[in-house]
Amino acid sequence: MESAIGVLVSQFKAYAGKDGSSDTLSRDEFQKLVKSELSNFVKNASDPAAIDQLMSSLDMDNDGELCFLEFWQLIGRLANKHGGFSQ
């Protein structure tokens, strides 16, 4: 379980480090990550409008960047759905 957590942290950092702040995902970095890494879990991963909408729903402080914990909420929702849990 710790190694799987480590993978998620490393992959977040790999995308977050592409431009600007290396600890947050810009919209462009977020789109690349979703398209490359989450294409089975996120519907319309290639649709820019869907990415915009998803990003707004996660960016709680509306700063145009996703910090790790904001991103974590997304993968929690995806994992919850993937696991077939209720809620």
Provide, rounded to whole angstroms, the least separation between the CB of residue 18 and its own copies: 15
Residues sharing a CB contact under 8 Å with residue 14, sequence separation 6 or more, in sequence order: none
Provide, rounded to whole angstroms, the least separation between the CB of residue 22 and its own copies: 10
**Alpha carbon distance 87, 83 (integer Å):** 11
Residues that bind its own copies (CB under 8 A): 1-2, 4-9, 11-13, 23, 33, 37-38, 40-41, 67-69, 72-73, 75-76, 78-80, 82-83, 85-87
Burial (0-12, 13-18, 19+ Cβ within 10 Å), 29: buried
Provide, rounded to whole angstroms, the least separation between the CB of residue 28 and its own copies: 18
